[in-house]
Amino acid sequence: MKRIQIITGHYGSGKTEYAVNLALHLAETTENVALADLDIVNPYFRSYEQAKRMEDAGIRVIVTSCGGVADIPAINPEVMSIFQQEKWTGVLDVGGDPIGARVLARFAHMLKAGEYDLLFVLNANRPETKDVDSALQYMQAIEAESRLKVTGIVNNTHLCRETTPEEILKGAGLAQQLSERTGLPVVHHGVQRKFVDDVKDKITGEILPMNIYMKKPWEIEFYEEE
Amino acid sequence: MEKELWKGNEAVAEAAIRAGCKYFFGYPITPQNEIPEYLSYHLPKIGGCFLQAESEVAAINMIYGAAGCGVRVMTSSSSPGISLKQEGITYMCGAELPAVIVNMMRGGPGLGTIQPAQGDYFQATRGGGNGDYRHLVYAPATIQEAADYVQMAFDVADLYRNPVMVVADGMIGQMMEAIEWREMPKRELPEKTWATTGTKGERKPNVINSLYIDPNLCAEHNERLAAKYKAMEENETRWEEVNTENCEVLFVAYGTPSRITKAAIKLLEKEGIKAGLFRPITLWPYPSKQLKAAASQESVKAVVDFELSMGQMIDDVKIALEGCRPVTFVGKAGGVVPTPAEVAAAAKAAIGR
């Protein structure tokens, strides 16, 4: 895995959930993990909401200006340290859609080939990325806006609380089709921990067991066990 | 039909398209921006028109014009933007123009915050415009309901020749949920013989106006509007009751607070307290009779009103109850959302536990 993991995708694909889980997963075995919130389009359900959890795990969390809650979030200049100091293992949580990925163009010239992965997070239950043609169109639009090439696909198919193992397998199928079409690897299947046993023998490729951290206000006291 | 994952704002926009809306005029504001974003992309594909107006005031007057032409049209905004549209809304009620207006509410007053709130209850149900006017206000609590009620709103607007408002706190606009697209029950709708579609030399011109020079005619006009509002009260009032039968505490909440209340009810159940939820789905007309019936059960010791405001709907709760039960308030304004535990604690305090 490369030193810098850049997480992109369509709104609602679960980029932030994946980014937070990935950072916590990396922090189990790696020192100097940093998560940077580069989302300048989405006002709610943002990675800074999990800052304390990540900081408790030793992760450096870099949020957008004004603690991340401003109407016009601006990129925190501290983000530069991830690009400039090789000691950091960075996870960049980028805003949704091509428009959210545009922020990456500013850093494109600083990213050395071979030093980063640009991951396209895919949710087969989102209406605008539910088949291989529309997913590919989104991926290419993200590449155009970010001036970077996607290096891997993440199957993160879910239906929030209504997710079933069948949904995850459906997403694995779509990710596989996209992989065959583009020649890009499926680097992870983001699978909610309780479904890992149900799908592990039916999926090829690495599973990232996921906890659900991004909760709606009425879910907070009921799903701590996940 | 298979379920898909939709963001609230996108579902509102797609619902409008499915209801036959081909025109949208609006101005950007958080947390509703995905509505215009979605429509700017999808309306041109179906031969419709998306236009970002120079302001909310311009947008609502474009809605007036398009509705006058007899087409289905929508605008959306968030709290301060809806304030700017108030003049247009009273003019549309006066001129009897159907349209759908969506408010994804944020914290106020003034510019406030971009986080979820319900501080526009008074504005939505009493109106910020002048004169004796009313319009239906739907308050969905799930993305499924947002998709359903936006579709329904277009029919109801056409049926009564009146604008219909859909209000939700920003959480409902921003969150994702699994939904399925389903057909709404068909209503028989009158032909729009009043629309300004061109006379072709075959009839007198239709005039769309809210001005009456003769006070007698204006008084008659008000009587006719009042009869229409009465019909809405009789036919369009909607609500949901959860666990209300023989409950000890009756919560009243809509939108996101109703979801939090359902979680609070489960917490209270663990402590042996039976709590129920009365959820108005139409904020106007308010389900007063039904609320009073639920609250006047012998088992009910206290009524707890929960809002993301400093207490606005509580006035309607008190009007409905006519003093039959004590009413207490729990809530926060300005974008902070109370937890289920805080809401449960308010219920316990209300019954002295």
- Give Cβ neighbours of residue A127 (< 8 Å, ≥ 6 apart): B4, B5, B6, B14
- Contact between B174 and A127 using a beta-carbon 8 Å cutoff: no
Q: Where are the alpha helices (DSSP H) in chain A?
A: 15-27, 51-56, 80-84, 97-101, 132-146, 165-182, 196-199
- Contact between B175 and A216 using a beta-carbon 8 Å cutoff: yes
The distance between the two most distant Cα atoms of chain B, rounded to a whole number of Å, is 75
Give the residue carrying structure tokens 């008659």. Answer: B220
Cβ burial, residue A149 (10 Å; 0-12/13-18/19+): exposed
The residues facing B102 across adjacent strands are B76, B166
Contact B131, B94 (CB under 8 A): yes
Q: Note down pLDDT in tens along chain B; length 353 residues.
A: 689 999 999 999 999 999 999 999 999 999 999 999 999 999 999 999 999 999 999 999 999 999 999 999 999 999 999 999 999 999 999 999 999 999 999 999 999 999 999 999 999 999 999 999 999 999 999 999 999 999 999 999 999 999 999 999 999 999 999 999 998 998 999 999 999 999 999 999 999 999 999 999 999 999 999 999 999 999 999 999 999 999 999 999 999 999 999 999 999 999 999 999 999 999 999 999 999 999 999 999 999 999 999 999 999 999 999 999 999 999 999 999 999 999 999 999 999 98
What are the structural domain ranges in chain B? Answer: 4-193+210-236, 241-350
Q: What are phi and psi of B101, to 5 degrees?
A: -120, 125
Residues found in chain A: 226
**Tens of pLDDT, residues A185-204:** 999 999 999 999 999 999 99
Q: Which residues of A touch B263 (CB under 8 A)?
A: 218-219, 221-222
Contact B113, B203 (CB under 8 A): no
A137 close to B (CB below 8 A): no
Q: How far is CA B219 from CA A41, A202, B132, B225, B297, in A?
A: 50, 73, 11, 10, 42
Q: Which residues of B touch A220 (CB under 8 A)?
A: 339-340
Residue A162, SS3 per DSSP: coil
B3 close to A (CB below 8 A): yes
Give which of B281, B340, B328, B286 is closest to B303, Cα–Cα: B328
The residues facing B167 across adjacent strands are B103
According to the model, what pLDDT value does residue A189 have?
98
Instruction: For residue A159, give the nearest of B178, B259, B339 by CB distance.
Output: B178
Q: Where are the alpha helices (DSSP H) in B237-298?
A: 256-270, 288-295
Distance from CA of A48 to the nearest CA of B (A): 15
**Fold assignment, B4-193+210-236:** Rossmann fold (3.40.50)
Give which of B276, B335, B263 is closest to B304, Cα–Cα: B276
Distance CA B216, CA B90 (A): 20
Q: Which residues of A touch B7 (CB under 8 A)?
A: 11-12
Contact A11, A125 (CB under 8 A): no
Contact A162, B5 (CB under 8 A): no
Q: In what order do the strands lie in the sheet with A207-210?
A: A60-62, A33-38, A89-94, A4-9, A116-122, A152-155, A186-192, A207-210
Cβ burial, residue B185 (10 Å; 0-12/13-18/19+): exposed
Q: Which residues of A touch B3 (CB under 8 A)?
A: 125, 159, 162
H/E stretch holding B177: strand B176-179
According to the model, what pLDDT value does residue B294 have?
98
Q: What is the DSSP letter of B205?
A: P
For the record, the structure tokens of A213 come out as 């951290």
Residue A65's CATH number:
3.40.50.300
Residue A216, pLDDT > 50, answer yes
Instruction: For residue B114, give the nearest of A71, A125, A160 by CB distance.
Output: A71
Q: Which residues of B touch A125 (CB under 8 A)?
A: 3-5, 178
Domain count of the fold of chain A = 1
Interface test with B, best of A221, A223, A224 (most B CBs within 10 A): A221
Interface test with A, best of B176, B258, B339 (most A CBs within 10 A): B176
Q: Tell me if A129 is assigned to some domain.
A: yes
pLDDT-derived band of residue A48, with 50, 70 and 90 as boundaries? confident
pLDDT-derived band of residue A223, with 50, 70 and 90 as boundaries? low
According to the model, what pLDDT value does residue A67 have?
61
**Fold assignment, B241-350:** Rossmann fold (3.40.50)
ipTM metric:
0.91
- Tell me the residues of chain A between 18 and 47 that have a Cβ less than 8 Å away from chain B: 42-45
Q: What is the DSSP letter of A209?
A: E
- Give residue B285's identity as a one-letter amino acid code: P
